[in-house]
Structure 1
Amino acid sequence: MTDHVLSLKDVTLRLMGNAGPVEILHGITLDVARGETLGLVGPSGSGKSSLLMIMGGLERATGGDVRALGQDLTAMDEDALARFRRDHMGVVFQSFHLIPTMTALENVATPLELAGAPDAFDRARAELDAIGLGQRLDHYPSQMSGGEQQRVALARAAAPRPEILLADEPTGNLDGQTGEAIVDLLFGLRDRHGATLVLVTHAPALADRCDRVVRLRDGRAEGATLRAAE
Structure 2
Amino acid sequence: MSSQLQSGVSGGAKTEMIALRDVHLTLGSLAGDVNILHGVDLSVMRGETVSIVGPSGSGKTSMLMIVAGLEQATSGQVVVGGQDFGALDEDGLARFRRDNLGIVFQSFHLVPTMTAVENVAIPLELAGRRDAAERAAAVLDQVGLGQRLRHYPGQLSGGEQQRVALARAFAAEPKLILADEPTGNLDADTGAQIVDLMFSLARDHDTTLMLITHDSTLAAACDRRVEMRDGRLTGGAALKAAE
Give the TM-score category using the shorter length. Answer: over 0.9
How far apart are 1:224 and its partner, in Å?
A: 5.0
SS in structure 2 of the partner of residue 111 of structure 1: helix
Deviations 1:37-77 (A, max 9, x none): 01000000111111111111011111100001111112311
How far apart are 1:221 and its partner, in Å?
A: 0.6
Contact 2:17 2:45 (C-alpha < 8 Å) held by counterparts: yes
Q: Name the aligned partner's letter for residue 177 of structure 2.
A: L
Query: Which residue matches 2:241?
Result: none
- Give the Cα separation in 2 of the matches to 1:198 and 1:49: 11
Query: Which residue matches 2:209?
Result: 197
Contact 2:106 2:181 (C-alpha < 8 Å) held by counterparts: yes
1:146 equivalent among 135, 140, 158: 158
The answer as to 2:25 corresponding to 1:13 is: yes
- Give the Cα separation in 2 of the matches to 1:187 and 1:136: 22
Query: Which residue matches 2:62?
Result: 50
Query: Which residue matches 2:88?
Result: 76
Contact 1:40 1:216 (C-alpha < 8 Å) held by counterparts: yes
Same amino acid, percent of matched pairs: 62
The answer as to 2:167 corresponding to 1:155 is: yes
SS in structure 1 of the partner of residue 78 of structure 2: strand
- Give the Cα separation in 1 of the matches to 2:122 and 2:234: 39
- Give the Cα separation in 2 of the matches to 1:135 and 1:93: 24
Structure 1 runs (4+) deviating above 6 angstroms are none
- Give the Cα separation in 2 of the matches to 1:185 and 1:27: 34
Aligned residue runs from structure 1 range 95-110, under 5 A: 95-110=107-122
Deviations 1:56-109 (A, max 9, x none): 101111110000111111231111111100000100011111111110000001
The answer as to 2:187 corresponding to 1:175 is: yes
CA RMSD of aligned residues (A): 1.0
For structure 1, list consecutive stretches of 5 or more residues without a partner in the other structure: none
1:214 equivalent among 196, 216, 226: 226
Q: TM-score, normalised by structure 2?
A: 0.91
- Give the Cα separation in 2 of the matches to 1:223 and 1:212: 11
Contact 1:61 1:74 (C-alpha < 8 Å) held by counterparts: no
Aligned residue runs from structure 1 range 81-96, under 5 A: 81-96=93-108
- Give the Cα separation in 2 of the matches to 1:27 and 1:137: 45
Q: Name the aligned partner's letter for residue 223 of structure 2.
A: D
- Give the Cα separation in 1 of the matches to 2:165 and 2:237: 29
How far apart are 1:180 and its partner, in Å?
A: 0.7
For structure 2, list consecutive stretches of 5 or more residues without a partner in the other structure: 1-6, 9-14, 239-243
How far apart are 1:223 and its partner, in Å?
A: 4.1
CA 1:7–1:185 in structure 2 vs 1: closer, same or farther (change >3 Å)? same
Contact 2:101 2:177 (C-alpha < 8 Å) held by counterparts: yes
Aligned pair count reads 226
The answer as to 2:74 corresponding to 1:62 is: yes
- Give the Cα separation in 1 of the matches to 2:77 and 2:172: 27
CA 1:129–1:223 in structure 2 vs 1: closer, same or farther (change >3 Å)? closer
- Give the Cα separation in 2 of the matches to 1:59 and 1:143: 33
Q: TM-score, normalised by structure 1?
A: 0.96
1:37 equivalent among 46, 49, 55: 49
Contact 2:225 2:236 (C-alpha < 8 Å) held by counterparts: no
CA 1:187–1:126 in structure 2 vs 1: closer, same or farther (change >3 Å)? same
Query: Which residue matches 1:137?
Result: 149
